[in-house]
Structure 1
């Protein structure tokens, strides 16, 4: 675990910045996202016969593709309010959808509005160095012969395998309509959930082994940090099930009947991902119980040793107390071997007690 996270937990366990970031999400607060200085717009215009890839500098440059007879994928990296509004207004996207695109911490959902299908969900990444689940909000709009995707981070996404498929004329996505591209984008996001959860599961297994070998206060800090990341994971994955179900229930003509079976496959994947997240949640609870059980066992071992030592020293204490009483007449008080008799009893009785304890398996 990152040392910074650990010491932050030790010094200030109730006001971690990560806790605030994970739990404090209010969609009614205006977006505070810092707008990028530059955005990247990539336009993939394709059909079965060929594909053209254009990197555009201005939002207005993508206006020409609205009348393209081919399938057009406009991928906008970086959310700048003026550019997002310009593109959306030109393609007839409703103002409420624009607000959702520009919002921060939006719950995954889908909308069927004015003949367009819109969905917003999170792409997940796992930061191995900080053991943190990082999320990036992505919005996808499906229209007639076009798909527009809006991403927050221009440096990374999960769509490189899809871009590679677009290069091959025989690929399914090149020979299908825009709804299949829409499905493909969502499918790659959902498939990446399993990659993130696999790495998260490795962290849980490593923590479990660490607790079994040597549990300490740092183990408790690690458990609490991973529990926060579990919240991010669950909050990002669980609503996507409803999102896919909404697409399947939608009667929008943009989704062809032949494409529905692919969305059903994504639905099966997200159900499996949600079940796996629930299993990880149970494992985290079990890790906490394991830690508490280990602490209690360790405490019991210490108490048992202290109790045995106290019992072994009790005869010496009793004998020394009896012969240390201030009376004139005590047995063997003036005997020439009295001290050696008392010392022998102090030694023999604990040895006998030790043998009895050992035979009974008390330690």
Structure 2
């Protein structure tokens, strides 16, 4: 018998036979077997903000070699590379004296958030998270940030989107705090806007959880359970992605590098508070989704109990008429009522009176 849903469930593959579906494994915890390098990007976009207190220029570069002059430039520079290619990343790392281990991290895929400090370069890698409203799913993009004396280099996977527009807007404002700060403050600003976007994604997940709570109350069926399981996977994916970011920010707070000014440390402390709050909210959402599953089973049991209650009442009400029908359906000759002219009507009346009496008793006892 064919199996199919009338309405599509976001993220759930619609198939004709659910018993022949082979579940795809999307998690691989063995680094030796996992894919550690990425495919080269089809498109690369290079933008540079070269600025000081009084001036700021935004440039779009065509070749990676044009960024080399900013390695020792007197002004501060933010080099943002959208789309990662191995040759270009190697050339940048070689020119800006970035350690090969950090280069491997930039080129890797599926890395957990981390922070390293090698050869007077501070490096951090963390997820940039988006919420896909069409599929109600979490999209992850790996972002790598390298902090130097007078530059910050950011590597992104997707040239089409990011969350850095607030930072770009502040850089174009004369006298803004980011223009008066150093490269460490720029690095903080990038981390801050990434982590602030986590709260936006969590708001979207919270809306889906509230919607599922209403759905569980009114439609506790297998389709609703599939949606709950899908939402649970998205919440767990979000939690797993942001959990290591706390240690990443804590690494900046504990660092004694000369690249970080003591005055900027308090800003990293603020980011640390934000990521702690974000982790706490993610834990709450995870518990709420687990409670949704328990609520679903509770509602399902209540629905089943109501069905069994109705069936039990109907069976009980039909028992006396069935008994009478069975008695007078016996083929004995010596039954006085068989000779009665109105026996048929007396029997039906007796059945009706018994039904009414039983209904009155059940209602008085509050059984239905």
Corresponding residue for residue 188 of structure 1: 193
The Cα of 1:334 is off from its aligned counterpart by: 2.4
> Contact (CA 8 Å) 1:27, 1:106: kept in 2 or not?
no
- Superposed, which structure 2 residues align to 1:345-356 within 5 Å? 345-356=350-361
Q: Does 1:114 align with 2:109?
A: no
Q: Deviations over 1:8-53 (max 9, x none)?
A: 3885486455xx33x3355443445331233111111111021122
Aligned length: 360
The Cα of 1:330 is off from its aligned counterpart by: 2.9
Q: Does 1:65 align with 2:70?
A: yes
- The one of 171, 176, 181 equivalent to 1:166 is 171
Change beyond 3 A, Cα 1:106–1:290: same
The Cα of 1:286 is off from its aligned counterpart by: 1.2
> Contact (CA 8 Å) 2:49, 2:57: kept in 1 or not?
yes
- Structure 2: where are the runs of 5+ without partners? 1-6
- The one of 245, 248, 253 equivalent to 1:243 is 248
Q: Deviations over 1:138-195 (max 9, x none)?
A: 0001111111100000000000010000011211111111000011100000000001
What is the TM-score with the length of structure 2 in the denominator?
Answer: 0.93
Output the aligned Cα RMSD. Answer: 1.8
- The one of 219, 223, 226 equivalent to 1:218 is 223
What is the TM-score with the length of structure 1 in the denominator?
Answer: 0.94
Corresponding residue for residue 5 of structure 1: 11
> Contact (CA 8 Å) 2:147, 2:153: kept in 1 or not?
yes
Change beyond 3 A, Cα 1:2–1:74: farther
Q: Does 1:341 align with 2:350?
A: no
> Contact (CA 8 Å) 1:2, 1:129: kept in 2 or not?
no
Name whichever of 137-146 and 210-219 sits farther off: 210-219
The Cα of 1:117 is off from its aligned counterpart by: 0.9
The Cα of 1:256 is off from its aligned counterpart by: 1.0
Corresponding residue for residue 128 of structure 2: 123
Corresponding residue for residue 24 of structure 1: 28
